[in-house]
Structure 1
Amino acid sequence: MLFPYIYVPHQMEKMQTFIDFIFHEVWCKAPIGLVFHPDLFDGDPELKEVMVEFGFSAQAAERGKAFYTDVKAIYKLFASLSPQEIVQFKRWYQGNNDLEKVLANDPAAHLVRYADIAVAHKNLGRQLAVFFKGLYSQALLDLAALRAKIGDIDDHYQTFISTNKGGKCPFCGIEDIKGPNSTKREAYDHYLPKALYPFNSINFRNLAPACHECKSTYKLSKDPVHNGAGRRKAFNPYATAAHTVQIQITLLQHVDIDKLTPTDVKMEFSPAVLAEEIETWKDVYGIEERYKAKLCGENDGKYWVTQVLDECQSYDKQPADILNMRTQQAQSRPYADCNFLRRPFLEACQQVGLLKIAPFFQR
């Protein structure tokens, strides 16, 4: 990830507060033996109003009825858990929602997937999956009884982009993020995929706008914190400390710019202190493939070379002069016009002699 978003508080966080209450104050107390009833929600009057509407109103929408039914079904399954199992579920719930620790691969975070729950609690795992996979859905979040309490996702997006104004996807840096002048918005990506992880599908620390290529072409349901070897570190989309990923590009000697292919390009990423996070990022978002494809594109990398040579001829400059200007641009606006890629690529081109200008045009 090239840079983190700034986290933006919003009314929609109340939905996670509702889920916190349901988990801790209702489900985890199910073994006490009380009959499932709206009075179980007395501790959160606004949530109780929603549950009464969804569970007992003749006008309740089907999606609202399903929400009530799912909460009740999970309550009944929790009722048979032992005290030790309740403690374990509490650890899992806390772990899956402590994104900062999870992404840092902190062993104190007790991360759990549906597959892990199903080992000992097959039916409960299945019911939790139904509930949490369907939690982040317009069919539910747009219901009037709920929207009146938590606001709506479109307003969250407008608030979000009014703070995060860069206009570029931080997961790749090469695609745009729709801003305030667009009538549409980007989809929110579940960073820990909702297909794999329970408990955090409406936690906005786990929801981040991403471009279509990052979300729907490359990441899909890839797991940023697990691979075949086990747990791994990943960038935090809402890290409070900024970081900078440096990219060094090397081209094969005697390469022909008109015939440049990805195999002619070598990329190295730094700093070393972020090596594990960088490897995860490259794996999840197909970064090297996408960057190399851009460098080899007729209207991207190849055009950047042509542009430098044209500017040298038009303005009586040397390639070094243009590269100095590109360096300054990359330092001040690294994500404008892909400067973070263009600068190291042009430097690599200069190293292999691709930016030589014909003697006729030299001063």
Structure 2
Amino acid sequence: MLFAYTYVPHQMERMHRFINFIVYQIWCRAPKAGAFSLDLFDANPPLKEVMTSFAYGDTQAGDRFYTQVQAIYQSFSGLPRCEIAQFKRWHQGNNNLEDVCANSPRVHRARYADIALSHPKLSDQLAVFFKGLYSDSLLNLAALRDKIGDIANHYQAFVKRNKGDKCPFCGISDLLGEYHSKRDAYDHYLPKAIYPFNSINFRNLVPACHHCNSSYKTSKDPTYPPKDPAGATTRRKVFFPFAKAHSGIDIKVTLPHVNLEKMTPAEVALSFGPAGSAEQIETWKDVYGIEERYRAKLLGVDGKAWLVEVLDEWRWNEQSAGAEGKAPEKYLQDVSRHTQRSPYANSNFLKDSFLQGCKAVGLFDTVDQVVASA
């Protein structure tokens, strides 16, 4: 992840607090609380109003929510104290996103597959419930929306605070911003298809560009690498999207020769730093197809256009005896300066690294050489 988001508090967080109440105060107390009824929600009047509306209303999504809460309550009612305690730890762990991303041994997280080992029916019930929470059919119900606001308003507040209009997961694709009437999708960083309890936690919901969200990450669990040939799985560190301290990523491009037309993506070497974030960087590259996408950009239209810019400036500089245009050294200095100020505008961070790689391989030694390569 090239840069971290700033977390934006919003009324929508109330939905997550409603779910926390249901987990801790309703389900986890089921063994001693008796039969399920609306009286169980007395300690949370706003949620009780929602549940009452769902219980006596005629909306399909509201009825489904109420029925599922009740069914899971009944499944919890037969659990012993030790298993209730385990579910509490799982709920807490899955919502401690920062420690999950850091692969902290303190975190007791759980996937549906983990729960299914001892509670297959309850795992299925939780999966249906939590996968359905993040849906327009539920969140747009008037009884609920009046309490929590709406997702479009959250997105507008989010992009106004997180200016830049670039996807932080790749840095090369735009995000729809505050001046658009539409919005990009939120990605469930820990996929809701794999993890219960956090599908409406806005620290697990991050705007991402279409390519990052739908073409590359899809439903991958970033905290687990693909299985090795032996079928073993190990956890790994991943960037936390809302980290307060993010050191950024350094990128170096190394080219094998000066003939770009005959260069293949595999020949373009990309190195990333800093070393202190090596594991997170490897995860990021794997999940979002970073090396493939960056190489494609460097050898495609954009990379060639960057070279043509250098060539044109150089020609004008020589033809005008220095009165117009820029020599390569001066042009690259300006690109580096623009990159320091606005690294992600116009993919400056890649442009700068690419042109430095071109310089290192000798591509700017003579005008004729640049002409032959561009």
TM-score clears 0.5: yes
Distance 1:84 1:244 in 2: 43
Identify unmatched segments of 5+ residues in structure 1.
none
1:196 aligned counterpart, secondary structure: coil
CA distances 1:63-103 after superposition (whole Å, capped 9, x unpaired): 11000000001000001111000000000000000001111
Structure 1 residue 359 displacement after superposition:
7.0
The match for 1:271 among 263, 274, 284 is 274
Structure 1 residue 150 displacement after superposition:
0.1
Aligned-partner residue type, residue 292 of structure 2: E
Distance 2:326 2:279 in 1: 42
Matched, 1:231 2:235: yes
Structure 1 residue 357 displacement after superposition:
3.9
Normalised to the residue count of structure 1, the TM-score between the two structures is: 0.96
What is the aligned-residue RMSD (CA, Å)?
A: 1.4
The match for 1:82 among 80, 83, 100 is 80
Structure 1 residue 169 displacement after superposition:
0.2
The residue aligned with 1:349 is 358
Aligned-partner residue type, residue 289 of structure 2: G
The residue aligned with 1:358 is 367
Identify unmatched segments of 5+ residues in structure 2.
228-232, 317-323
Distance 1:325 1:111 in 2: 48
The residue aligned with 2:246 is 242
The residue aligned with 1:186 is 184
CA distances 1:170-221 after superposition (whole Å, capped 9, x unpaired): 0000000101111110100000000100000000000000000000000001
Matched, 1:117 2:119: no
Question: Which 4+ runs in 1 deviate beyond 6 A?
Answer: none
How many residue pairs were aligned?
A: 357
Distance 1:359 1:117 in 2: 66
Distance 1:163 1:360 in 2: 46
Normalised to the residue count of structure 2, the TM-score between the two structures is: 0.93
Q: Does the CA-based 8 Å contact 1:224-1:280 persist in structure 2?
A: yes
Distance 2:262 2:302 in 1: 14
1:268 aligned counterpart, secondary structure: strand
**Greater CA drift, 330-339 or 5-14:** 330-339
The residue aligned with 2:308 is 306
The match for 2:341 among 332, 353, 356 is 332
1:230 aligned counterpart, secondary structure: coil
The residue aligned with 2:52 is 52
Aligned-partner residue type, residue 248 of structure 2: T
- 1:61-72 equivalences under 5 Å are 61-72=59-70
Identity %: 57
Distance 1:129 1:358 in 2: 62
Structure 1 residue 360 displacement after superposition:
12
Matched, 1:257 2:255: no
CA separation of 1:45 and 1:321: change in aligned 2, threshold 3 A? same
**Greater CA drift, 320-329 or 224-233:** 224-233
**Greater CA drift, 226-235 or 100-109:** 226-235
The residue aligned with 1:101 is 99
Q: Does the CA-based 8 Å contact 2:314-2:367 persist in structure 1?
A: no
Q: Does the CA-based 8 Å contact 2:313-2:326 persist in structure 1?
A: yes
